[in-house]
Structure 1
């Protein structure tokens, strides 16, 4: 998963959202055991070692997929090189692609970075669309297109995605006079993120003491803006976030939520956010599938039987990654076969069952591991059906090279200055714009 703009803390087993605290390990995980340095060399026992470079916990090892592949291919040994955070992993990956050295046989790329990779280094990555046995129809169209370069090459195969739902506390909704049945809850805001805010306003009129409707304004903003067909860049690759309807309307909703005091003023993945789950301090949170395990861990036994999942107001995506294969690696052929196998529908379904990584392969949605999936902690919510439906409706949003920077700056500087520091909305927006202008070329 895969938030990594917010993905280093996915679930207890899969922690891949970015937490934006730089560790002094730039390239350490990427270089350790790289294909051209040590990890890609043959093992000495007649087996070929294929190295896989990832950030955080992708779950392949934990779900037993590496072991399964090695049993199917006795001549292959898989070595995973994992860097904890994407903000350390990704700059190193860019450096090694530029230098054409120090690369693992397979390199993972986060969704907010895939456009830049395709723009800068498509010629240095295998065109996966031309690999025998790879079927475009297995993937959701919008996911497949995210990895397509200007010249038509598909630089990576999609792994997971993050279709959004809304996780909510049934006990708090009931005390506030709101429905608790997931179908009825979904109807409260169906089709419009503004209705979600309106529901928050109703909640706050009878809110249980000390609780907020939602965790923070950034989560609301992220959910809303990701449901629009244009976000930060247009289809021509032009930076348009200052005039984007999706950005402006989502920002305004976030400001309305702050003004209405319906947020817990929490920054996601901070310790205070974790503690708020344990304390039951807020009633709802915008949640992709990978967040369910995280909520279960942080809310703990005290939250058992209280949480449920409803459909989000509109289909939107948060998170996801790709597997790429650098050209010219010592084991390029073996790497292509492994990447193809790991992202095939059957393996994606197994990864969802074991690690809550929701498939980007639409062919996986008909498999029982996905179709029949229910989550006991969330009232046996039919999460396979809820998130599959959302995934199919997610718009194809043009990506740009600095999506991650823009999204994070708006959330962590613009919104938080208003929400936590009490600044005026226009001052928060201007602070975010200034920071973005300093680091992003128009």
Structure 2
């Protein structure tokens, strides 16, 4: 979620107030509780993430270092979460090369709590249980083992909306008002029908959406049960919700509505400034990413409307401390501060990452974003967060999702039949999870 623009109107003022409050609160806290595992000397806390969580861009690292002069924060990140997770698994198995703080994507958190608990610090040892009441219940419980170990503190959640290019809509003769669009695409069939209308009059080299994989992902984010049921049984192959999302996405590919761009690829990044797609399924954290890729030239060209088919959630993460971390206590104090309400509110107003902290959600309710044509982002994403189902998370959620979206890429880019691609997806799942 890259850098936000400097002038942010009311939203930025809210962020500034939140950050000021955070500084005062942190100054009063006096830093770490109890003994430090660094003997009181200078400490470099290493943070390893995927994508961009926005902490550096929002000025939070700099603020924390100012409050704690003995602390330096060094972040590394991998853009593709799949690559990040593979590398993390290798390092966890070997016990070396781990950072003090590791990011965990929500689709992996069940793997951590159910299969890798012995490799991460139980944060209750540092007082994490005192924080429980400040987080959404679903977010907190997903990072907690059955016997009560807290293995991660929640960062953001991913309430979903639809981002769209008003200038491209105008060129294709489509309405641009977010309320009117929400009415026209209240269903996914309505969304596809508008896409067909767009295709008929679209500007050259511009598609309706970036990829059918992103369409599938945002649709399946509207479901409570996706790949596993509450008992832990793998159900994706017979789940009608998965079938519906698959068939809708395959239809979009058949209708030629996709720009056929793999998300997070260099080509996808370049497409933001080129106007290669008019709509983008858009969890809250995508706002900062759009700004970073589209740049100043995109300001005022984007808007946000309610998602077709109802509310859902896509993504969200946790910050965890590995058992092999060098500075466990300092790492915990940092992630406690980064996930506190004041910092989560600042991150939303500057980067778009929607809070999992209940206190922060209240703070950002009236936020707007001038980059997105003044869209009431606090209301849009706040309503979506309230209405989204509490999802059942399985051990291999991310593996299953990746295999399905890979197969959909075959449909749109290679012309593979949906039936053959689905068979390939099932084989991929079997190979990935055994």
Could you tell me how far apart the structure 2 residues matched to 1:286 and 1:225 are? 12
Cα 1:250–1:125 change in 2 (3 A) is same
More relative contact order, 1 or 2 (CA 8 Å, 6+ apart): 2
Match of 2:389, SS state, is coil
Aligned to 1:439: 432
Aligned to 2:7: none
Could you tell me how far apart the structure 1 residues matched to 2:143 and 2:37 are? 29
User: What is the Cα deviation at residue 228 of structure 1?
Assistant: 0.7
The correspondence for 1:347, drawn from 322, 343, 349, is 343
The 5-angstrom pairing of residues 216-231 of structure 1 reads 216-231=211-226
Match of 1:164, SS state, is strand
Conservation of the 8 A alpha-carbon contact between 2:196 and 2:255: yes
Greater Cα shift, 313-322 or 59-68 = 59-68
Cα 1:49–1:257 change in 2 (3 A) is closer
User: What is the Cα deviation at residue 422 of structure 1?
Assistant: 1.3
Cα 1:132–1:419 change in 2 (3 A) is closer
Two-structure CA RMSD over aligned residues (Å)? 2.9
Aligned to 2:133: 137
Q: TM-score, normalised by structure 1?
A: 0.81
Residue 419 in structure 1 maps to residue 412 in structure 2: yes
Conservation of the 8 A alpha-carbon contact between 2:2 and 2:54: no
User: What is the Cα deviation at residue 106 of structure 1?
Assistant: 2.9
Q: Deviations over 1:6-52 (max 9, x none)?
A: xxxx4357xxxxxxxxxxxxxxxxxxxxxxxxxx9748x83455443
Could you tell me how far apart the structure 2 residues matched to 1:116 and 1:346 are? 29
Structure 1: segments with no counterpart, 5+ residues? 1-9, 14-39
Conservation of the 8 A alpha-carbon contact between 1:349 and 1:364: yes
Cα 1:293–1:47 change in 2 (3 A) is closer
**Count, aligned residues:** 401
Could you tell me how far apart the structure 1 residues matched to 2:101 and 2:139 are? 19
Match of 1:335, SS state, is helix
Conservation of the 8 A alpha-carbon contact between 1:97 and 1:121: no
Conservation of the 8 A alpha-carbon contact between 1:11 and 1:290: no
The 5-angstrom pairing of residues 365-404 of structure 1 reads 365-367=361-363, 370-404=364-398
Cα 1:154–1:430 change in 2 (3 A) is same
Could you tell me how far apart the structure 2 residues matched to 1:268 and 1:100 are? 31
Residue 153 in structure 1 maps to residue 156 in structure 2: no
Could you tell me how far apart the structure 1 residues matched to 2:320 and 2:338 are? 12
Q: Deviations over 1:115-156 (max 9, x none)?
A: 111112224434446725733332222222321323343311
Conservation of the 8 A alpha-carbon contact between 1:140 and 1:392: no
User: What is the Cα deviation at residue 199 of structure 1?
Assistant: 2.8
